C-alpha cells in the first residue's frame, strides 16, 4: 500500500553500514524543493554535486558511527508553524514543521535504509 514503510529490523547501531551507493541513493531521494535548513545548504546542491560529495559524506558518517558522536550542528533545526485549517489566529490550527540540515537528513535516510533491509 502506498505510504507504508517496511518494518524496522535492525538490532544494533553497529549493524549500520554506510556505503557510497547508499549515500547516493539517499541524496537522489531528497526533494529538490525542500527548504534550506540551519546550515544554509539546499538539497539541490547535494543532488547536483557529482561523485565527490557522497565520498566526503561517507567519511563523515563513518567517523561519526566509529566514534559514537553526532555533530551538534546536525542536531539544530528550524521549527516553522504550518497552517492546517480554521481560524488563523488560533495556535491550535498550526502544526510544527521541523527543518533539519541536509547532511543530517542524508544520514537519517541511510540509517533508515539499513534498518529496513537488515
The answer to whether residues 95 and 84 touch, using CB atoms and an 8 Å cutoff, is: yes
Please state the rounded mean pLDDT for residues 53-79.
93
Domain total of the chain = 1
- DSSP secondary structure code for residue 107 in this structure: H
Instruction: Using DSSP, state whether 74 is helix, strand or coil.
Output: helix
Please state the rounded mean pLDDT for residues 77-86.
94
Query: Does residue 89 belong to any structural domain of this protein?
Result: no
Boundaries of domain holding 35: 13-75+101-117
Q: For the whole model, what pTM was predicted?
A: 0.78
Query: Does residue 87 belong to any structural domain of this protein?
Result: no
Please state the rounded mean pLDDT for residues 34-49.
89
Query: Does residue 81 belong to any structural domain of this protein?
Result: no
Query: Does residue 56 belong to any structural domain of this protein?
Result: yes
Amino acid at each position: 500500500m502506498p505510504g507504508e514503510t517496511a518494518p524496522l529490523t535492525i538490532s544494533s547501531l553497529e549493524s549500520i553500514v554506510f556505503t557510497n551507493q547508499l549515500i547516493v541513493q539517499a541524496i537522489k531521494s531528497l526533494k529538490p524543493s525542500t527548504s534550506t535548513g540551519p546550515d544554509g545548504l539546499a538539497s539541490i546542491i547535494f543532488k547536483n554535486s557529482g561523485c565527490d560529495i557522497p565520498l566526503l559524506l561517507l567519511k563523515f558518517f563513518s567517523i561519526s558511527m566509529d566514534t559514537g558522536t553526532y555533530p551538534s550542528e546536525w542536531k539544530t533545526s528550524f521549527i516553522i508553524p504550518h497552517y492546517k485549517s480554521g481560524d488563523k489566529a488560533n495556535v491550535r490550527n498550526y502544526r510544527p514543521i521541523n527543518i533539519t540540515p541536509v547532511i543530517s537528513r542524508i544520514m537519517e535516510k541511510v540509517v533508515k535504509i539499513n534498518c529496513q533491509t537488515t
